[in-house]
Structures are given as C-alpha cells and as structure tokens.
C-alpha cells in the first residue's frame, strides 16, 4: 500500500502491524498533516466479529479525551477497506525503552503515574483496555506518555452502544492469543472470565514490574507455560531484584498482581494516589529523609501478664519522640501495632510495613523493679544494629524511653534539632503511679464503647488525683466527657466537664499538643467553630503527626458544611494514621453528599478493608464492626454487612452508640422493624439522639413508619 492513496490520505510507510491491522504513516492531503492510519486487513474485515472489534476500538478511543491517550480523528471506510485515522505519535514504545536492568526510579514515576491517569480517564468512560503492555505504550520525543491500541477494549458502562452480555461472554482462546499478550494478561482473562477495570490494574502491575525489575513477572518458553505462570506463580518481589526499588513500591506492585481481583486496588485513582505518595517520599529521601522505622509494642514479660498498657505506652512515647526527627520516617501506631499478637519474622514484618528498621523490645515489671530490653533490627538481614538492657525503677520510665529514642537516632546516624538534643521524650509526670493510671485510661479510651470510656474516665481521674498537675490526664478526662456528650448523653454537664478539663490541661501545659486537640473538640461541641479550628491548628503546629487534631478538625468542618476543607484534613489524618478505618468511611459520606460516586465507592472499599484489619488487631472493636458494616452495605455486600452489624450489637447490646449505628445499618438493607427496635432501645438505655434521628439520611427508609414518627415525637432532649 506504500505510495497509494486511500480517500484523501497518501500512504507513506508502514509503522507497525498486528492481528487487528497494520498501522501506516500517512499524509492527510486536505489538512496537510501527518497522521497514523490503521487499516483492517480485508480477510479480517470479512469476519463480522473482527469488524465489530475494530469499530469497537474506534468507539473506545473516541470516548476518552485525555492527553495520555492517543487521539482518534476519524473512522472511515472506502469500498471494502476499513480504517481509523489517529494522531501520529513520534517516539519510542516502552518495550524499546526498558532494559534488562529496568529503568531508573525517577523515569519510572514519569511513566507510571501518567499511565494511571490514562486508565482512570478511560475507566471513567466505561472503557477497559484489556491489552495494556509495553508495546502499547509510547513515550514521545517530548517525554509525554501515550496509551495506544484499545483494540481489545470493552465498553462496560450502562447504555454503551454494544451488547454487554455478549461482551461478558467473550473468550480468549489459545489460538486467539494474538488478541492479548500472555505476559501481561490477568488471571481472569487467561481463564476466559469477565475482565473489568481490575484486569487493567493487573496488567499495569505487570508493566510496572517489568519497568522496575527489568524482567517480566511471568515467564515461560511457550504461551501455554506463560499462561500457567500467570495463574499459579507469584513473582519475586521487585525490591529483591532491584534494590533501588522502595519496599512500598514493591508492595504496591505486588497488590496489583494479586490473583484475586478483589484483593487488588479496586480503583485506579487509589493506585495513583499511592504512587504519588511514594514518589513524594522518594523525593524527600533525596533531600535527606534516609531512614524509616516501625516501633513495635513491647512484649509483656511480667509474671502476671498485666502490663500491656505499659508496654503500649512505652512504644507510643518512642513513636512520638522519633516522629519529630526530620530525617526519619516513622510508621504510625496503628500500622505497626497490628502485628502485636501475630508474631513472625521481624524481616517479614518490616518488609510488609515498608521500613528499613524495626524497634522491638520487652518489659518485665515487678514491684519497684523494671527491666526493659530494646533492640533495633535491620530489616534487610535481620541483624541487630543496636540493643540494650535497662534495669531501673518505674519512676525512671521517661528517662529510659528517652535513652532508647536517643540510641536509635545515634545508631542510624541522624541529626537532631539543637533544641531537642538533650531530651526527645517529654516528662509528663514525676509520679509513676499517676503515669500508670494514665496509660491504662488511654488504652481503654481507644477501645471505644460506653463501658470502655467510663473505665478510661476512672483511670484518668485516678491519675489526676495522684498528680493534680498532670496535664495529659486532664486532656484525657476532657476527651472522655466529649465522647459521652457525642454518643451517650448530650447533657450540659458532660459538655461543661469537657470544657473545664481541656482548659485545665492547657493551664498546666500550654505546649501540650493533645491538650489543644482536646480543647478544640470541646469548643467544637459547643459550636464555637472558629475557636475550635484555631485550637486544632495550634495542636498541629506543635505536633504535625497528631492524628486526633486532623480527625476532629475534619469532623468540625463537616458540621459547618465545609466539605472540601474537611476532605483535606481527613487526608492529613490518613497520612498520620494510614490504617485508620474511620477516615475513608467518613470521606465516603462526603463524596456521597457531593455526588462523587466513584470516589465514594473507592473510599468505602478502603474503609471496609481497614476495618477488617482493625478487627484482627482488636476483636472487640464494636465501632470497626458497625462502620465496616455500613461500608459493606453501601458496596452491596448486605449479607456480610448484616453479620458485622450483629457482631457489633453482641459486643455491647446496651451501648446507645452501637444501637443507633446498627439501626442505620439495618435501615440500609430494608430491615425496618429491626432498625426501629434498635432505636427504641437506644432511647430506653438513656440516650436521645433527636437531632440525628430527624436529619440522618441513613434513616430515610424509616421516615414514613408510624413507630418511627412516634419515637421521634417522644424525644424532648436534643442529641
């Protein structure tokens, strides 16, 4: 066809060829521009299904207007010749760029992130690529990434202009492998099962693996062997093959390549966000952030095994101290503590957490004798970098914690701000008994639920009675009263106590970040929003890693209707504690209010997964149960959501917060009578959530029920 004319296009040369046609460099004589012209072979055009796929490709590409996807100009036919005209991409394919050593990290992100942008745009239009591979990815001479050849794309959006059911039953038989590339195909494609957006995520994972490792994840001498490898083999971690690959990136790729679609990223936007976060981290590494560490909860070696709160407190204080070292990335408490009772090889735990070092230890406490053993472990080989035994008295605990933190900094050869050289861990109280009660209170507070909060309150009172100037104990008391006001009894007395104790905490220590966060929450509940935001921001200035400051600030912004600002603070809370399940589930509610369906679904899915992790860490976390249940129900997993809701109720059937939220779960699946039963029990145990019952959209299915109307009318106390 060289030098021939097709319509107004003069064929100049062949660029490439494949099972779905040949691509030529052509000249548009009317518009005086060079184009790419893809011609369907005559024998293939005679095949009705092949012709349909060809036309489908045109529709798929034309449906998406994105700078990282090739632009289609027209779909034409002249006689028996069917062809597409597209923008001419001048550059190299990714398959020509990747070497046996892979590509450098900076270039990797320059390609990988635009690829996620392209797929995100395509998926938003209901288009899956189904044949993503290095040969279908171009990098222009100007460095722009372009995704080519949607020849296997399938329209999946409702109302798309093809037979959806027929598309779902399409098969990829062995003799048709020219329509797909075995090395990058998902297991479901290999098995001839329906392939959705998660199949593209698998293929993208295979492409990223090839880029970073310099080799394909699945190998074989024949197509059959490669397909078998895709189904049964787990490739060697990319970070093992390429030591320059960050562990977080290696784990991200590993998740993309999971055999089960449900365990991959469920949305490309989530994948893109994590890639951007890893890239940001890598950029920081180049600016001096060169170490990462996870601090594990210390093991309780005491004879009575009753010092879990003390072991947890030691680890938390060290986490807080190390988080202030600029050159060190410290994994959040929730992320590292999920391995508390699971045991395992420190190297494996460190790799899963994406850190270079692990700090672990043990505590043996008996009367006035305290023995603490700490050791810093290199994750790469499991060897000890530093270890030490401390034989002290309980009153020396802050000194020991500081010595451990200082030793970690010294062992990793990091520098400390001049003002913190002598002390990393702040002294909260000089009385070890007060500190012990405080730690017990904090442990119970984090378990949620009416009973746990009441126990926590007693512990904080004990601590403040022993040491009236213990600021942290007063901040803890303020938080318990705020919780009671929000979830149990919205009485003026609870709000007054929250206000009084938070103010007292700051009188005792104006530089206490958690005190400012507690103060902000009390002010927020008093509807003094402007002062609350100031308090939250002061807490953040004092401790940029304080989860509670971001979390409660976001909730205050939601109350004010400032949804976009709330999302920003929720994002920061997520950065401070990436494994907290509340954040994505609460963000999903904002996305629902703003009509962002895809983001709502992705957030609910992430929240559900994190709630499952939280239950493994603490099987009695009723809040994780009912919030996870809500996410499941919104994702269509009603049966499982109901099981989780019942589990929450079984943990404490008289807790009004549990009863109310389970009622919301039940309303969401149409169990109207059971939902109203829960609400009636909520009122019976002493809580009156009148404002919530009147305005909560989760309860909309109950609005026309007479029992519900009667219940709401009977409430005099606002909640």
Instruction: Indicate which residues carry an active-site annotation.
Output: 131
Within 13 Å and on the Cβ side, how many CA atoms surround 423?
6
- Residue 182 CB: number of other CB atoms within 10 A? 23
> What span, in angstroms and rounded, lies between the C-alpha atoms of 38 and 60?
15
Consecutive H or E run containing 71? none
Q: Contact at 8 Å (CB) between 584 and 613? A: no
Which sign does the torsion angle of CA 302, 308, 312, 314 carry? negative
Q: Which candidate, 614, 686, 619, 678, places its Cα nearest to that of 649?
A: 678
Q: Could you please report the per-residue DSSP string of 133-202? A: -GGGEEEETTS-EEE---TT-EE-STT-SS-HHHHHT----GGGGGGS-GGG--HHHHTT----HHHHHH
239: phi then psi, degrees, rounded to nearest 5: -70, -25
Q: Are strands 137-140 and 384-392 parallel, antiparallel or unpaired?
A: unpaired
Residues present in the chain in total: 719
Q: Contact at 8 Å (CB) between 453 and 480? A: yes
Q: Contact at 8 Å (CB) between 264 and 256? A: yes
Q: Which candidate, 117, 187, 185, 122, places its Cα nearest to that of 156?
A: 122
Alpha-carbon 25 to chain mean position: 44
Q: Are strands 299-300 and 357-366 parallel, antiparallel or unpaired?
A: parallel
> What span, in angstroms and rounded, lies between the C-alpha atoms of 698 and 188?
36
Q: Is residue 327 helix, strand or coil?
A: coil
């Amino acid at each position: 066809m060289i030098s021939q004319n097709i319509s107004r296009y003069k064929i100049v040369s062949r660029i490439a060829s494949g099972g779905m046609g040949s691509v030529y460099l052509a000249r548009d004589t009317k518009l005086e521009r060079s184009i790419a012209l893809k011609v369907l072979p005559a024998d293939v055009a005679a095949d009705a299904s092949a012709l349909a796929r060809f036309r489908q490709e045109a529709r798929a590409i034309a449906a998406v207007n994105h700078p990282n996807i090739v632009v289609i100009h027209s779909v034409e036919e002249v006689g028996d010749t069917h062809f597409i005209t597209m923008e001419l991409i001048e550059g190299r394919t990714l398959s020509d760029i990747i070497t046996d050593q892979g590509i450098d990290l900076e270039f990797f992100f320059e390609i990988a992130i635009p690829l996620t942008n392209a797929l995100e745009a395509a998926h938003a239009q209901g288009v899956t690529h189904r044949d993503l591979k290095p040969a279908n990815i171009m990098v222009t001479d100007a460095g722009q990434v372009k995704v080519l050849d949607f020849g296997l794309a399938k329209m999946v959006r409702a109302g798309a202009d093809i037979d959806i059911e027929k598309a779902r039953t399409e098969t990829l038989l062995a003799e048709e492998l020219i329509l797909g590339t075995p090395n990058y195909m998902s297991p479901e494609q290999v098995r001839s099962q329906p392939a959705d957006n998660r199949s593209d995520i698998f293929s993208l994972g295979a492409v990223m693996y090839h880029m970073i490792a310099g080799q394909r994840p699945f190998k074989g001498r024949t197509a059959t062997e490669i397909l078998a490898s895709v189904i049964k083999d787990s490739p060697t971690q990319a970070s093992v093959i390429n030591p320059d690959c960050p562990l977080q990136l290696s784990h991200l790729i590993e998740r993309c390549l999971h055999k089960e679609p449900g365990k991959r990223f469920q949305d490309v936007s989530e994948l893109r966000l994590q890639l951007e976060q890893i890239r940001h981290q890598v950029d920081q590494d180049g600016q001096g952030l060169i170490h990462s560490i996870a601090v594990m909860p210390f093991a309780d070696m005491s004879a009575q095994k009753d010092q879990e709160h003390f072991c947890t407190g030691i680890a938390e204080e060290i986490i807080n101290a190390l988080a202030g070292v600029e050159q060190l990335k410290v994994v959040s408490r929730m992320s590292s503590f999920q391995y508390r009772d699971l045991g395992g090889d420190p190297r494996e735990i460190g790799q899963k957490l994406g850190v270079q070092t692990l700090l672990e230890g043990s505590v043996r406490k008996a009367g006035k004798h305290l023995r603490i053993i700490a050791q810093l472990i290199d994750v790469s080989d499991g060897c000890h970098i530093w270890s030490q035994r401390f034989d002290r008295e309980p009153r020396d605990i802050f000194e020991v914690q500081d010595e451990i933190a200082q030793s970690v900094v010294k062992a990793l050869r990091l520098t400390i701000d001049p003002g913190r050289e002598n002390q990393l861990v702040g002294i909260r109280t000089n009385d070890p008994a007060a500190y012990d009660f405080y730690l017990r209170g904090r442990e119970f507070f984090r378990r949620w639920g009416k009973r746990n909060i009441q126990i926590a309150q007693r512990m904080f009172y004990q601590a403040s009675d022993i040491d009236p100037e213990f600021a942290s104990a007063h901040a803890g008391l303020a938080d318990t009263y705020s919780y009671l006001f929000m979830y149990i009894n919205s009485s003026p007395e609870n709000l007054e106590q929250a206000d009084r104790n938070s103010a007292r905490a700051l009188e005792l220590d104006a530089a206490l970040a958690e005190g400012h966060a507690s103060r902000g929450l009390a002010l927020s509940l008093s509807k003094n929003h402007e002062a609350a935001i100031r308090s939250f921001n002061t807490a953040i200035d004092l401790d940029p890693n304080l989860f509670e400051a971001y979390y409660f600030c976001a909730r205050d912004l939601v109350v004010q209707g400032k949804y976009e600002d709330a999302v920003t603070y929720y994002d920061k809370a997520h950065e401070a504690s990436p494994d907290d399940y509340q954040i994505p589930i609460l963000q999903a509610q904002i996305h629902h209010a703003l009509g962002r369906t895809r983001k709502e679904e992705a957030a609910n899915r992430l929240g559900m997964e994190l709630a499952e992790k939280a239950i493994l860490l603490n099987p009695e976390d009723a809040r994780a149960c009912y919030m996870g249940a809500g996410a499941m129900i919104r994702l269509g997993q009603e049966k499982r959501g109901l099981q989780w809701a019942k589990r929450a109720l079984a943990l404490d059937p008289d807790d009004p917060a549990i009863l109310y939220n389970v009622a919301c779960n039940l309303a969401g699946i149409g169990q109207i009578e059971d939902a109203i039963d829960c609400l009636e029990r909520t009122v019976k145990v002493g809580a009156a959530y009148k404002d919530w019952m009147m305005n909560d959209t989760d309860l909309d299915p109950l609005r026309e029920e007479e029992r519900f109307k009667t219940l709401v009318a009977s409430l005099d106390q606002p909640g």
